[in-house]
Amino acid sequence: MPFTADKDLKLAFTPNLIPAKVHSALPEDLHLRPLAQDDYSRGHLDVLRVLTSAPDVGSSAWSERFDLMASHPDHYYPIVIVSKSTDRVVALGTLFVEFKFLRGNAKAGHIEDIAVSKEAQGKGLGKRVIEALTGVSEGLGCYKTFLDCSEENKGFYERCGYEFKGVQMSKYA
Ligand code: ACO
């Protein structure tokens, strides 16, 4: 499939929010951009499946979820890295911005759902995704950016400049 330029896509948010230095650090054959309305067909769920259960919901349910996120442009900042030679998604992640009352109506950035396709792991792409999302979060004025991860990924996030703070608590339905 030929590479699709940003101008020909419906993107989840304005790409200008992604710091330019992240683009320049990527290899020539890769492109980092906001998630697009038709990224279902570029294998978005295949990459997400590297992280956890992500059953195929079909393109129309996937697009509905995209449209829901895109209709809340102050909160959802999903990004992907796409291979220019295959036009397929190879890495992804999302920033979710939470509005607070504390610290004078501050905002906090949650990093969620980071995944790099198995073939593309170990080439610095995960780090680029985190740099991009952190840059968007800080550019939007979030007072902190944070995430939950497993013990085995702690070293990765430390390499991205994050530090251990507290303990995650969960209750699955
Ligand atoms: N432990 C310690 N260090 C690591 C690990 C790890 N598990 N993984 C990578 N690193 C180091 C690398 O050696 C590299 O070090 P360097 O800066 O000295 O060169 C640095 O971290 C950056 O590594 P990348 O090559 O960018 O990592 P990659 O592209 O493989 O992405 C990721 C890492 C996202 C964890 C990937 O392996 C993956 O998709 N794993 C499966 C899904 C997953 O666990 N996602 C994270 C869930 S947590 C969340 O979503 C908030």
Q: Tell me: the pLDDT tens digits for 82-117?
A: 999 999 999 999 999 999 999 999 999 999 999 999
In the predicted model, what is the mean pLDDT of the chain?
97
Hey, which of 45, 94, 153 would you mutate to test ligand 1's pocket, going by the most ligand atoms within 8 Å of its Cβ? Answer: 153
What pLDDT is recorded for position 166? 87
pLDDT > 80? residue 1: no
Structural contact between residues 80 and 44, judged by C-beta atoms closer than 8 angstroms = yes
How far does residue 93's CA lie from ligand 1's centre (Å)? 12
User: 92 in ligand 1 pocket by Cβ < 6 Å?
Assistant: no
What pLDDT is recorded for position 11? 98
Which residue's CA is minimally distant from atom 32 of ligand 1?
Answer: 126
Q: Tell me: the pLDDT tens digits for 11-63?
A: 999 999 999 999 999 999 999 999 999 999 999 999 999 999 999 999 999 99
Residue 32's closest CA among 17, 18, 50, 51? 18
Half-sphere exposure of 2 (CA within 13 A, CB side): 3
How far does residue 126's CA lie from ligand 1's centre (Å)? 6
Residue 149's closest CA among 106, 93, 97, 100? 93
DSSP the chain: -PPPPGGGS-BSS-GGGS-HHHHHTS-TTEEEEE-BTTGGGGTHHHHHTTTS------HHHHHHHHHHHHT-TTTEEEEEEEETTT--EEEEEEEEEEE-SHHHH-EEEEEEEEEE-GGGTTSSHHHHHHHHHHHHHHHTT-SEEE----GGGHHHHHHTT----S-------
What pLDDT is recorded for position 55? 98
Which residue's CA is minimally distant from atom 26 of ligand 1?
Answer: 124
Percent of the chain past pLDDT 70, that is, above it, reads: 100
